[in-house]
Amino acid sequence: PAWENRVKLSAKPRSCTGHTVLVTGAVGFIGAHASVALKRRGDGVVGLDNFNRYYDITLKQSRKSKLVDRAGVFVVEGDINDEVLLRRLFGLVHFTHVLHLAAQAGVRYAMINPNSYIKSNIDGFVNLLEVVKSTIEQPAIVWASSSSVYGLNSKVPFSEKDRTDQPASLYAATKKAGEEIAHAYYHIYGLSITGLRFFTVYGPWGRPDMAYFFFTKDILNQKQISIFEGPNHGTIARDFTYIDDIVKGCLSAIDTANKSSKKKGEFRIINLGNTSPVSVHKLVSTLEKLLKMKAKKKVVLMPRNGDVPLTHANISLARMELGYKPTMDLEMGLKKFVKWYLDYYDAKKKSSW
Ligand code: NAD
C-alpha cells in the first residue's frame, strides 16, 4: 500500500487540465529532465527505470535524488519487459500519456552487447505497446526514435520522408524497427503514437558515453583524445541539440497528441534537431575555450564502425506540428554543461573526503 500510495500521489496532476504521464527511462539523461519539466508545469508524473549499468550508476542515482527530492516525482525501479509490473501500474493510475524514453542507447556498445538492444528497444517496446493497447482508455504514446535511422543517407538536411533503409549500426536498426512496430500498432489498434527523432542531445546531467562528455573529462585530466575521421576521409559533424530544446519538443508532442479516445489514433514521426551541424574539431575547440585548457588531440585517419559522417535535421515538420523552435547554440549550451560538470564532480570529490 505504501508503494501504491506513492505512485498515486506522484501521478496526481496539480490542475484538472494537467496530464498524467508515465515516463520510462526516467533516471536517464533526457527522462530526468523531461520528468522535472512535466512535474513543474503541473502534470502528474510517474517514472519507471531499470537503472541499467550501461554507464555510471551513481549519476543515475543522483538524477533520481533530484527527481524525488526536488521535483516530487516517484520513480519505480523496474523493467519495461515486466508485464506484471506494467499492468499493475496501469491498473493503479489512469495515464493520459506515456513518454517512452527507456532504451539501450549508444552506437558502439551494440558491438559488445547486441542483445541488450533487442531486449529493451524491441521486446520492451512491444511489451509496453501490448499493455497500452489493452487498457480501457489508451494513453497517447510519445517515444524516442533517433536521427540514426537516416543511416548512410547522404542527402542533408534529413527530412522525415527521406529513406531510412540503410542503418549503420544495430542501435539504428532497433530504432527503425521500433518505428515500424509502432506503425503496426497504430494501424491495427488505433493507438496514438508520436516518434521523435532526436539529434545528438547534450547538456547538464548528460550521458558519459557521449563525446562532449568524455572530451571534457579527458581535457581536464590532460588525457589524449582521439578524433576519428568520418567515412571517405571527411570530418564528422553532428547536429548537437540542447536538452531544454528537446524537452520542449517532447512536452509539445504530448500536448498535441491526438487521444485515441477520439476513435482513430494517429501516427507521427518528427525530427527534433538544431539545424546547425558542428564538426568534432569545432566541438573540441569550443570545449578548450570554455575550459581554458588545450586538448591533447590525436587525429585517427580511419572511420569507426557505426559512425555516419554527418547529421543535420530539417525541422519544418516540428515547427508546424509542435511549434518547435530550438534556441540554444552549441557554445552557450556547452557552457551550461561545463558549469554543471565542474560543480557536480567537484561536489562529489568533496563529499567523498
Ligand atoms: P539514457 O541511457 O541516459 O536513458 C535511458 C534510460 O532507460 C536509462 O536510465 C536506462 O536505465 C533506462 N532503461 C534502459 N532499458 C530499460 C528497460 N528495459 N526498462 C526500463 N528502463 C530501461 O539515454 P538518453 O540519452 O536519456 O536517451 C533517452 C532516449 O532517447 C533513448 O530512447 C535514446 O535511444 C533516445 N535518443 C537519445 C539521443 C541522445 O543524443 N541522447 C539521441 C537520439 C535518441
Assigned domain for 285 exists: no
Q: How many domains does the chain contain in total?
A: 1
Q: Report the C-alpha gap between 327 and 287 in whole angstroms.
A: 20
Assigned domain for 308 exists: no
pLDDT, averaged across the chain: 94
Query: How far away, in angstroms, is 294 Cα from ligand 1 center?
Result: 32
Residue 221 has pLDDT above 60, yes or no: yes
Mutate to test the pocket of ligand 1, among 30, 109, 125 (most ligand atoms within 8 A of CB): 30
From the CA of 241, give the closest atom in ligand 1: 40
Q: Collapsing DSSP states into helix, strand and coil, what is residue 77? A: strand
Assigned domain for 290 exists: no
Q: Report the C-alpha gap between 214 and 227 in whole angstroms.
A: 12
Residue 260 has pLDDT above 50, yes or no: no
Residue 231 has pLDDT above 70, yes or no: no
pLDDT band at 340 (very low <50, low <70, confident <90, very high): very high
**ipTM of predicted assembly, 2 dp:** 1.00
Q: pLDDT tens for residues 183-212?
A: 999 999 999 999 999 999 999 999 999 999
> Taking residues 97-111, what's their average pLDDT?
96
Q: Cite the beta strand spans of the chain per DSSP E.
A: 20-24, 44-49, 74-77, 97-100, 140-146, 192-198, 201-202, 224-228, 237-238, 241-242, 266-272, 278-279, 296-300
> Taking residues 259-274, what's their average pLDDT?
81
- What CATH number has the domain bearing residue 136? 3.40.50.720
Residue 180 has pLDDT above 50, yes or no: yes
Residue 102 has pLDDT above 90, yes or no: yes
Q: Collapsing DSSP states into helix, strand and coil, what is residue 260? A: helix
Q: Report the C-alpha gap between 135 and 324 in whole angstroms.
A: 31
Assigned domain for 206 exists: no
Cα–Cα nearest to 191, from 102, 97, 112: 97
Assigned domain for 340 exists: no
> Taking residues 158-166, what's their average pLDDT?
96
User: What distance lies between CA 137 and its chain's CA centroid?
Assistant: 26
Non-local CB neighbours of 3 within 8 Å, separated by 6+ positions: none
From the CA of 102, give the closest atom in ligand 1: 7
Assigned domain for 115 exists: yes
Q: Report the C-alpha gap between 141 and 149 in whole angstroms.
A: 19
Assigned domain for 307 exists: no
From the CA of 200, give the closest atom in ligand 1: 40
**Residue 188's pLDDT is what?**
95
Model pTM above 0.90 = yes
CB within 6 Å of ligand 1 — which residues? 24-25, 27-31, 49-52, 54, 60, 79-81, 101-105, 120, 124, 144, 146, 198, 200-201, 207
From the CA of 207, give the closest atom in ligand 1: 3
**Residue 259's pLDDT is what?**
56
Mutate to test the pocket of ligand 1, among 33, 48, 52, 242 (most ligand atoms within 8 A of CB): 52
Query: How far away, in angstroms, is 262 Cα from ligand 1 center?
Result: 30
* Domain extent at residue 93: 2-199+243-273+313-326
Residue nearest atom 18 of ligand 1, based on CA coordinates = 120
Query: How far away, in angstroms, is 144 Cα from ligand 1 center?
Result: 8
Cα–Cα nearest to 100, from 64, 68, 140: 140
Query: How far away, in angstroms, is 17 Cα from ligand 1 center?
Result: 28
Check: CB of residue 64 under 8 Å from CB of residue 27: yes
Q: pLDDT tens for residues 105-149?
A: 999 999 999 999 999 999 999 999 999 999 999 999 999 999 999
Assigned domain for 146 exists: yes
Q: Report the C-alpha gap between 176 and 151 in whole angstroms.
A: 10
